[in-house]
Amino acid sequence: MEQTNKLFCKGGGCTAKLGPAVLERVLSRLPKPTDEQLLVGCESSDDAAVYRLTDDIAVVQTLDFFPPMLEDPYLFGQIAAANALSDIWAMGGTAKTALNIVCFPENMDLNILGAIMTGGSEKVREAGASLVGGHSIADSDVKYGLSVMGTVHPDKIRTNNTCRIGDCLILTKPLGVGLIMTANRVGQAKQEWFDAAVQSMTTLNRWACEASMPYEVHACTDVTGFGVLGHLREMIQPAYSAVVRADSVPMLDGARQCAEEFLLTAAAQRTRNFLQGKVRFAVDDFALEEVLFDPQTSGGLLMSVPERQAEALLAEIRALGLRCGIIGSIVPRMDCDIIVTK
């Protein structure tokens, strides 16, 4: 779709998230729900809430919205919708309905809003869900996303903190979109880097989730604004650690080069500071560190699966055309939460 005007992107997508330290401090002070039918709330940093309706049906509820990370409104709408829908699949659910969340300046060209919402609508349809309304407010800056409702069987919920020792960690999309979008804003991203990043962000996690359904996925999350290390840390229980093998981490072409040129995001530095003392790098590679801290917008799923099933599941995900990899494993407790090795 032809671009109708500039969105004046200053740094959006999941880089706009509040830092994990701020969220942890605020959320820890909120009262905890006591409804016994609430199967998953905010106590585990999970991707969505899950509420049981019957013995066979639970509702999965989530929302996500953010400012633009690129100038094309249609692509922005697609990416924002794909990102919001992702939380349903991270929980092992099926997307059913979605509501638009819109913040838009009253004096801006409405064709831009139309392009954003068209992109979002197309991704909702691709997800097999129905777009059923939404809410909009006048704002000084553009923001867009979705509130999404899905369903899951109460016995088949995938939470993010139920890894087991010996599990392999499968990442279903390559890292580096935050770095490449930063480079693009200052005119230093090659077109092929930008195009590959957009293709990754607009790819629904539905397909990887559905491919994984026959397998024993012990835990799952999607990788967004806290980077792969921030979201992996949320998966680690006190008795466990995770070992990440750097050579196995899928990366977008250009991501390492952007890090080497210090085209970094503030969000990655907030996560780096938050994880100080929780992550140990056994490799001396600054660019690698930045890729692992890099905030992902509409990133892939991070699944914890039994070692005996990991290669078969990886092959199925690769058959979908996704750049994925077995990036590490869950091990008995070591000296910190995550150790990054070669």
pLDDT at 1: 41
Stretch among 28-42, 103-117, 225-239, 271-285 having the lowest mean pLDDT: 28-42
pLDDT digits (tens, 9 = 90+) for 95-118: 999 999 999 999 999 999 999 999
Q: Three-state DSSP class for 93?
A: coil
H/E segment holding residue 110: helix 110-126
- The more confident residue out of 276 and 19 is 276
87 known member of a binding site: yes
Q: Which of 9, 14, 163, 220 is catalytic?
A: 14
285 known member of a binding site: no
φ/ψ of residue 174, rounded to 5 = -75, 155
64 known member of a binding site: yes
Res 3 pLDDT > 50: no
141 known member of a binding site: no
pLDDT digits (tens, 9 = 90+) for 213-270: 999 999 999 999 999 999 999 999 999 999 999 999 999 999 999 999 999 888 899 9
pLDDT at 4: 43
222 known member of a binding site: yes
pLDDT at 58: 98
What's the rounded Cα separation, in Å, for the pair 213 and 313? 10
Per-chain mean pLDDT for the chain: 92
| Beta strands 279-281 and 338-341, pairing class | parallel
pLDDT digits (tens, 9 = 90+) for 75-93: 999 999 999 999 999 999 9
What's the rounded Cα separation, in Å, for the pair 197 and 300? 12
136 known member of a binding site: yes
135 known member of a binding site: yes
What's the rounded Cα separation, in Å, for the pair 249 and 196? 17
Q: Who's near 25: CB < 8 A, 6+ residues apart? A: none
14 counts as catalytic: yes
The mean per-residue pLDDT over the stretch 121-139 comes to 97
What's the rounded Cα separation, in Å, for the pair 248 and 74? 33
Taken in order of first residue, the domains within the chain and their CATH numbers are 13-156 (3.30.1330.10), 168-341 (3.90.650.10)
